[in-house]
Amino acid sequence: MRRIGLSGILLALAVGAGFLFFTERPLVVTVVQPERDVALRIYGLGTVEARVLSRIGFEVGAALTSLAADAGDSVIRGQELAILHSAEQEARVARAHATVATNKANLAKANAAVVRARAVLAERETANRRQQGLVQREVASAQRAEEAQRDEDVARADLAVAEADLAVIRAQGLDAAAALRQEEAILAHHRLVAPYDALVVARHAEPGTVVKAGDPIFTLIDPATVWIQAYVDEERAGQLVPGQQGTIRLRSQPSAEFHGTIVRIGIESDRVNEERRVWLACADCPAEMFLGEQAEVRITTGSRESALMVPEVAITGFDGHRGTVWTVQNGRLARAHLTFGARDDRGRVEVAGGLPEGAAIVARPPKGVAGGRRARPEDAP
């Protein structure tokens, strides 16, 4: 019985010693070390785009007779790109020219009528003055004087009519000239020309196709306006300002690194993805860029001579400014509530304040972590 009791005591002691060993042995943890010359960067994912992109087409509808450009071609401003069937419109222009010519002839006739009416009026005025003088000397009768006055009044009225006819024909001439310009403008719309020096991205129609007004025929871009459009998480976008430098990696050239500058920050965020758009002008990107190609950007928002950068996964209850971390203080684990500042593109946050003196932040809390548990940094003896 004594031997059995002694065995039980030894077993209990062994269990207690094992429990103390597993609960009181120091946990080896990785702690955050201060870093020098820390670059603060923000990651964004986006695509290659063009600021000036135009889907151009005709202002009138007809059948395409020819196209003079294709995808990949470089064109200059004013270069002819496509032509519509224009026989009907050419006939309208010819008719408008004929109307203008007719008006010119009518105008000449009206001018002659005015000249004739003025000559008749001058003759009637002279005759009337002569008759009035004879009446005053009682050489001619009053009736002859009245007839002479009537003839002068009729001649003056005829002149007024001729001048009114001339004004009407001049107005008709202005209308005919305007109609001719309109028909010529519509005829010019049967030719599609490049609005600026451009690169043809796509051709959307072929000869023989009947197109409507406004249908896109070509998609053009200005090669000088190619830039990178990137999406940045709203939580990080507050650090962005125009002029900041960034590095760019294109999916087709993953080993190459290009450099750009923020030239625009969108004033409207994506309400679904909670992202903000930024645009970077590339300083040394390849001459040949492909719209829609995926691009990764890392924008430098600042730097620190020295900083503690904590992985976000090590922070609990993080609201973007405050959170809780595990620390090693006096050889034991303890919770600490800290404030944080800038973030970087490696998922880390800068410690801004709240860290107790002599405490080290646990970078990757292991299993079994608990308040008061003994712990030591992995590089500590």
Q: Is residue 356 over pLDDT 60?
A: yes
Architecture in CATH of 42-51+222-303? Beta Barrel (2.40)
* 53-85+190-221 has the same fold as 26-38+306-377: no
- What is the domain partition of the chain in residue ranges? 26-38+306-377, 42-51+222-303, 53-85+190-221, 87-188
Mean pLDDT of 232-240: 88
Q: Is residue 37 over pLDDT 70?
A: yes
> In this structure, what token pair is assigned to residue 357?
């003196």
Supply the pLDDT for residue 19: 46
Mind listing the pLDDT tens digit for each residue in 243-270?
999 999 999 998 999 999 999 999 998 8
Architecture in CATH of 53-85+190-221? Beta Barrel (2.40)
pLDDT tier at 235, thresholds 50, 70, 90: confident
Average pLDDT of the residues of the chain: 88
Mind listing the pLDDT tens digit for each residue in 275-293?
999 999 998 998 888 999 9
| Phi-psi group of 70: left, alpha or beta (phi > 0 → left; psi -120 to 50 → alpha; rest → beta) | beta
DSSP assignment of 138-169 equals TSS-HHHHHHHHHHHHHHHHHHHHHHHHHHHH
Sign of CA dihedral 21, 23, 26, 29: positive
pLDDT tier at 302, thresholds 50, 70, 90: confident
What is the share, in percent, of the chain residues with pLDDT greater than 90? Answer: 55
Supply the pLDDT for residue 16: 52
Which pairing describes strands 245-250 and 210-211: parallel, antiparallel, or unpaired? unpaired
Supply the pLDDT for residue 364: 86
Q: Is residue 120 over pLDDT 60?
A: yes
Supply the pLDDT for residue 24: 60
Architecture in CATH of 26-38+306-377? Beta Barrel (2.40)
Supply the pLDDT for residue 21: 45
CA separation for the pair 46, 294 (Å, rounded): 6
Mind listing the pLDDT tens digit for each residue in 10-30?
565 555 544 444 456 788 888
